[in-house]
Structure 1
Amino acid sequence: MKNTKYFIGLDVHKQKTSYCVRDRLGTILTESEVATRYPELESRLKPYLATSMIGLESCTSYYTLYQSFLRNGYHIKVANTIQLRQLITKNDKLDAQRLSEMLQLGTFPCSYIPEEKIQRLRSLLQVQTYPHGGKNTMQQPDTSIPGQKRHHHT
């Protein structure tokens, strides 16, 4: 985007999202965290959004935010997490800073984003597989060879 003035990094998690806003020179203008809900993020970032590039790390919670920013006409990218592993830490604030910095420097590793229909199906599958946000409790299929006894390790 030619007229980009601000670069916004979002480190998205299920409950909260850390954000960092930089200008063209790389100066951090604001950073904080907010609930992972589009209205809260839009409210906090409103002064910057019209002329910004937004980058977020792909995770299981990114889809709704991504689609909301896209539908409202904002420029947004999703980072390829495999390429980020060496660059991102386990500190949400620093991760948001690093994401905004990569956008500003033009080194943001973009991820493939499937069409909206596929994204909705993935979200539905996630809800059905993990209805309470926990681990998959489905039984593993029996892959033993017929006629052989299964050995259970205790």
Structure 2
Amino acid sequence: MQTTKANALYAGADLHGNNVFLSLCDQEGNTVFRKRVKANLAAVNAALDPFWDRIVALGVESTFNWYWFVDGLHEKDRNVKLGNPAKMEQYKGIKITNDLTDADWLAEQLRLGIFPESYIYPKETRPVRDALRRRQLFVRRRTQVLLSFGGLLERYGLDAPGARKLEQWTLKDIQATGLDEFVQLQLETLLEAIRESDRLAKKVEQQVLAVAKPTKQYRRAQQVPGIGVALGMLVALESGDFSRFKSAGDYASYCRAVKSECSSNGKKKGKNNAKNGNRYLAWAFVEAATYAARFNPRIHAWYERKKRTSGVPKAKKALACKLAKAMWHVMNGKDFDEKLMFG
């Protein structure tokens, strides 16, 4: 059957870990089908099989487990749209919300043409990006264990060695502390955890670098001050296609590097969604700001002035914003110049 405006249908899928609630509405907004099915492609396709030739689009929220759903239906040439949950809040006055109303609302937004689409990261490189995200788990664990190691020594009146000195520690150094055998056991296991976290982080980094290093985006990213090997990989992989950002400001906003506020009649009324954007890029540009302020003379001078007037957090966030905007220009063909940051 050929889809016409009169018989067109719009589908919403409320996706969960073990089930999917499906809803279809027609051009007039009337619900024509609702069903909860198991979370697998066979069940979804079987439920929607009588309607596929009339379905204009199917919308699903960008939840933690959308990969299998969107990729699987795309392979069947279904028009699936991934939605941004932060931009699709239902009417606040509604008394009851559940899976049914959520699926209905997804379909309704498609019908009205207001469905807030999210970027669908290419399937081919998505596992590489996700591997780099997992690397951060090991980096964080290493930091946590280092702090625990230092805290344990200080608890017994001993000075905690720095991270670099700790890398040289052996079992003899632990025994030389003269602490109780069970305290030494704690130190020994913590030291092993630090080294294991290091090993796993480096293993991921090396394999991701082998994929990222030949790419143009990775090479250009390192033109920006504060961006080295690890941050270069992260920026290149997390940003994806830079053409989706219309301006440097849009990219900085995606990196959570701009302020979030709500005002009316010149008065501040609160904050908007400060978490809207990519948390990995937000972390990356704050890290880049730390290094850039330390090693680049002009950036250091600007940062120190900003710090005196606004304090460390605001100064670092402002510098992260400038770096993110400079990155957008670099990724769109301009070679880095400090004028991109300071005019």
TM range, normalised to the smaller chain?
0.7 to 0.9
* Aligned 1:58-69 pairs, distance under 5 A: 58-69=62-73
Letter of the aligned partner of 1:51 in structure 2? R
Aligned to 2:117: 110
* Distance (whole Å) between structure 1 residues aligned to residue 59 and residue 35 of structure 2: 15
Please point out which of 67, 70, 75 is paired with 2:74.
Answer: 70
Deviations 1:65-100 (A, max 9, x none): 10111111111100012212x328851111000000
* Aligned 1:134-145 pairs, distance under 5 A: 139=141, 141-142=143-144, 144=147
Aligned to 1:134: none
Cα RMSD of the aligned pairs, angstroms, is: 3.1
Distance 1:140 1:87, change over 3 A: farther
* Distance (whole Å) between structure 2 residues aligned to residue 68 and residue 13 of structure 1: 16
Q: Between Structure 1 and Structure 2, which shows a larger proportion of helix residues?
A: 2
- Name the TM-score, length of structure 1 as normaliser: 0.76
Letter of the aligned partner of 2:102 in structure 1? D
Distance 1:124 1:12, change over 3 A: farther
* Distance (whole Å) between structure 2 residues aligned to residue 68 and residue 106 of structure 1: 24
Aligned to 2:11: 8
Check the 8 A contact 1:78/1:113 in 2, yes or no.
Answer: yes
Give 1 or 2 for the bigger CA radius of gyration. Answer: 2
Please point out which of 68, 80, 84 is paired with 1:80.
Answer: 84
* Distance (whole Å) between structure 2 residues aligned to residue 75 and residue 147 of structure 1: 54
Q: Which runs of 5+ in 1 are unaligned?
A: 130-137
Aligned to 1:95: 102
Q: Indicate the percent of aligned positions where both proteins have the same amino acid.
A: 23
Distance 1:46 1:104, change over 3 A: same
Distance 1:68 1:90, change over 3 A: same
* Distance (whole Å) between structure 2 residues aligned to residue 79 and residue 44 of structure 1: 22
Check the 8 A contact 1:63/1:119 in 2, yes or no.
Answer: no
- Partner-residue secondary structure (3-state), 1:55: strand
Aligned length: 139
Q: 1:60 Cα deviation (Å)? A: 1.4
- Partner-residue secondary structure (3-state), 1:34: strand
Check the 8 A contact 1:102/1:108 in 2, yes or no.
Answer: yes
* Distance (whole Å) between structure 2 residues aligned to residue 45 and residue 125 of structure 1: 36
- Name the TM-score, length of structure 2 as normaliser: 0.36
* Distance (whole Å) between structure 1 residues aligned to residue 70 and residue 150 of structure 2: 51
Q: Which runs of 5+ in 2 are unaligned?
A: 156-343
* Distance (whole Å) between structure 1 residues aligned to residue 67 and residue 54 of structure 2: 22
* Distance (whole Å) between structure 2 residues aligned to residue 87 and residue 140 of structure 1: 41
Q: Which has the higher contact order (CA 8 A, sep 6+)?
A: 1
4+ residue stretches of structure 1 with deviation over 2 A? Answer: 86-90, 118-126, 146-150
Aligned to 1:39: 42
Q: 1:55 Cα deviation (Å)? A: 0.4
Distance 1:12 1:124, change over 3 A: farther
Aligned to 1:26: 29
Distance 1:42 1:141, change over 3 A: same
Distance 1:71 1:32, change over 3 A: same
